[in-house]
A and B are shown apart, each in its own frame.
Chain A
Amino acid sequence: MATYDFLFSSLGLEDWCAEGQSDGPMSMADLLKKTQGTSSEPESLWDTPFPSMDALNESCAAFPKSRELTKGLEEGFLSIKDSLSVVLDPLTQPLSWALDGTLYGMLNTPWWIVIPLLLAVVFFVTKSWKLVGFVAGSLFLLAFIDYYRYAMETLSIIFVCAFICVLFGVPIGIAMSRSDVMQRLTIPVLDMLQTLPPFVYLIPLIFLFSVTESKLYGIAIILYAIVPVIRLTNLGIRLVDKDVIEAADAFGMTSRQKLFKVQIPLALPNIMAGVNQTIMMSLAMVVIASLVSAPGLGVLVLQGIRNLELGVGLVAGLGIVILAVILDRVTKASLARINASQKQ
């Protein structure tokens, strides 16, 4: 006898419940309960369980347990998985190529080409010799302690993922800024992407793609990191001075002219702030993504945890911090340059 028997008997559902009785194998929980000899009947009102799925199942075997709900979700996902893969696989294949290609390129070009090239890029976007010196020092340090290869792997993944985030995020942000309906529809999705624990992204992706494919971690990183660039593009364009927009209208600009000659240039500081955030978030995710075979410094961190190699884990962690500081300073410096050229 269980607490909610009266509910089913009063509704006349006993027959339906009886049908659910099965002689199948017992679950671990049932087995434990039996051996401990505890009855499910509560002693007093104080112990009355909430009428949850499991509590109702005790009174009526035909009522589904909560595990059956999650199992149903699993089965549902597995049943659409194949058809989903047919669509998603070719669509995401270019991501795999981009990641593999960049990794191959970065790792097979000799260090004495890659490092000067990176420094040249740093100088081009920041025009600051101080920063170039800092980046050079950091890279030489990482290379000296033989972490060069891992650092370059991490950097390549971030470059590809951040580039794709910008490629898709900016247009989505622009679309959001132009239509309130679009904004209302997109914001809950962005909120969800931002609050979902990073590990949760990995679960459905593992089912959909094979763990050996690089697009698996690529997608996880992009989903996690694309949010800030979308949000800040939308915000930046919405914050463009209404007077300037009115002037653009009054002089007969088409909406395309307005977008490219007024709105995007004036929103650029905000968009760049979003790009900075996106890069930082992809760095955070690339470590977690090493759980699903993303190469780079994250692998070393994982190795440190798994094999209790304290030193490896700590130094790899430090390497990630160095990369984060480099990426942050470089993007911030270029952002400052944009800001300086258009303060009002």
Chain B
Amino acid sequence: MDRNIKISIRNLYKIFGPDPVGALEHVRGGMGKAELLEKHNHVLGLQDINVDIHEGEITVIMGLSGSGKSTLIRHLNRLIEPTAGEVEVDGENVLQFNEDQLRKLRRERMSMVFQKFALLPHKTVLENAGMALLVRGFSVEEFEADAKKWLARVGLEGNEYQYPHQLSGGMQQRVGIARALASNSPIMLMDEAFSALDPLIRSDMQDLLLELQDELQKTVVFITHDLDESLKLADHLVILKDGHIVQQGEPQEILMSPNDPYITDFISDINRARVLRVRSVMKKTTEAPPDCAGDISDRDNLESVIARSDGDTDLTYRVVRKGKQVGVLDMKELVKALVPTEATEGDARSRY
């Protein structure tokens, strides 16, 4: 990783209950979530979380409901106070911020997109989009141009003077995204931002986010329970289960070598051909293959390669990145990669 670390979460614990600090001792002593609930009636929200979030990347935190992912994202802007641990943004410990510093952080450096949109129902789309600026004390006239620009960018030109309830769910979430973008903050927190939308619109919104990300290079923290979504968006994937991190890393890597049966379960029924990319299954070499069937990009997914080879498993392709060869892909390797991997700590199969 050559990018800067924007947000760093260190040994973060969150325990819900009347005496979280007391319960923390038990957890550090090795007590699990179920036992803690039964014996001490405290809920273990997050347990020893360590994540580095890099600048300009989309970090996806994935887990099923109850895994603590929404709790985790709310620690970044301190909507929830942790029981123990540190959250550093640009090297500053957020947990030591006083109220003014915290407000400044929320106003200028972090914006948030919510699952249920959470727009102000009594304000127009334009006023909603400019909410972050309104909060900072700008008048509608002052932020109108800015808000309109971002609304246009998310495809809501002409809807500025409607009210949120007049828009469909997908359009409302576009307002939510425009609101976050208009705040001009380098960090964007997205809490299950697309989970309430139907699949087609969700896919549109994911494309929109990737498109915006290419252009703006924000630091995005994205929460989801949907594996396909996380694989599509993630530069860095963190998988949570019962409040602790099961595995984190590059999504392709997790896919090729899951280290936990939980993840194997999770990834067993995804469409691997669509998700896996050539770079994850190719053999790294600069030697030209003897009988090259053609050039493919290392970013192509396997599906497109299969389509191109017309199902012929005897072919070998040259993998090219920016005009230079970076590897060779044997179609037999590709087909083998489509079989879900068993969970093994040090997977014997060579991945590169």
Task: Please list the residues of chain A having a beta carbon within 8 angstroms of any beta carbon in chain B.
Answer: 241, 243-244, 246-247, 249-254, 257, 261-262, 265-266, 341-344
Residue in chain A with minimal CB distance to B122: A342
Whether the pair B103, A243 counts as a contact (CB closer than 8 A) is no
Whether the pair A246, B114 counts as a contact (CB closer than 8 A) is yes
Whether the pair B121, A251 counts as a contact (CB closer than 8 A) is no
Whether the pair A265, B106 counts as a contact (CB closer than 8 A) is no
**A263, B302: Cα distance in complex, Å:** 52
- Taken residue by residue from 263 to 286, chain B's Cβ proximity to chain A (1 for < 8 Å, 0 otherwise) reads as 000000000000000000000000
**A198, B320: Cα distance in complex, Å:** 89
Judge whether B77 is part of the interface by a CB distance below 8 angstroms: yes
Using a CB-CB cutoff of 8 Å, which residues 142-170 of chain B contact chain A? 163-165
Judge whether B118 is part of the interface by a CB distance below 8 angstroms: yes
- Taken residue by residue from 173 to 215, chain B's Cβ proximity to chain A (1 for < 8 Å, 0 otherwise) reads as 0000001000100000100000000000000000000000000
Contacts of B163 in A (CB 8 A): 341-342
Give 8 A-B contacts (CB < 8 Å), ordered by A residue.
A249-B106, A250-B77, A250-B79, A250-B106, A250-B112, A251-B112, A251-B131, A344-B165
Residue in chain B with minimal CB distance to A253: B135
Contacts of B248 in A (CB 8 A): none
Task: Please list the residues of chain B having a beta carbon within 8 angstroms of any beta carbon in chain A.
Answer: 77, 79, 102-108, 110-112, 114, 116-122, 131-132, 134-136, 163-165, 179, 183, 189
Contacts of A244 in B (CB 8 A): 118-121
Contacts of B77 in A (CB 8 A): 250
Residue in chain B with minimal CB distance to A257: B135
Q: A243-B118, A343-B121 are in contact. Are A251 and B111 (CB under 8 A)?
A: yes
A145 to chain B, nearest CB (A): 44
**A266, B106: Cα distance in complex, Å:** 23
Whether the pair A344, B164 counts as a contact (CB closer than 8 A) is yes
**A246, B102: Cα distance in complex, Å:** 15
Q: A243-B114, A344-B164 are in contact. Are A252 and B121 (CB under 8 A)?
A: no
Whether the pair B118, A241 counts as a contact (CB closer than 8 A) is yes
**A79, B131: Cα distance in complex, Å:** 59
Contacts of B110 in A (CB 8 A): 250
**A265, B179: Cα distance in complex, Å:** 20
Whether the pair B135, A341 counts as a contact (CB closer than 8 A) is no
Extra pairs beyond A252-B132, A342-B163 (15, CB < 8 Å): A244-B118, A247-B118, A247-B119, A249-B79, A249-B106, A250-B111, A250-B112, A250-B189, A251-B132, A252-B103, A261-B134, A265-B122, A266-B122, A341-B163, A344-B121
Interface centre among A247, A252, A261, A262 (most CB of B within 10 A): A252
Contacts of A249 in B (CB 8 A): 79, 106
Q: Which of B118, B121, B122, B135 contacts A246 (CB 8 A)?
A: B118
Q: A243-B114, A343-B165, A344-B164 are in contact. Are A251 and B106 (CB under 8 A)?
A: yes
**A254, B136: Cα distance in complex, Å:** 10
Residue in chain B with minimal CB distance to A343: B165
Contacts of B103 in A (CB 8 A): 252, 254
Contacts of B189 in A (CB 8 A): 250
Contacts of B179 in A (CB 8 A): 251
Contacts of A257 in B (CB 8 A): 135
Contacts of A246 in B (CB 8 A): 79, 114, 118
Residue in chain B with minimal CB distance to A249: B79
Q: Which of B106, B117, B118, B164 contacts A252 (CB 8 A)?
A: B106
Q: A250-B77, A251-B183 are in contact. Are A266 and B118 (CB under 8 A)?
A: no
B70 to chain A, nearest CB (A): 11
**A143, B29: Cα distance in complex, Å:** 84
Residue in chain B with minimal CB distance to A245: B118
Contacts of B79 in A (CB 8 A): 246, 249-250
Contacts of A252 in B (CB 8 A): 102-108, 132, 135-136
**Shortest 3 CB-CB distances between A and B: which pairs?**
A252-B106, A252-B107, A247-B118
**A257, B106: Cα distance in complex, Å:** 14
Contacts of A251 in B (CB 8 A): 106-107, 111-112, 131-132, 135, 179, 183
B182 to chain A, nearest CB (A): 10
B190 to chain A, nearest CB (A): 11
**A342, B111: Cα distance in complex, Å:** 25
**A50, B341: Cα distance in complex, Å:** 85
Contacts of B118 in A (CB 8 A): 241, 243-244, 246-247
Interface centre among A251, A253, A254, A265 (most CB of B within 10 A): A251
B195 to chain A, nearest CB (A): 13
**A251, B183: Cα distance in complex, Å:** 9
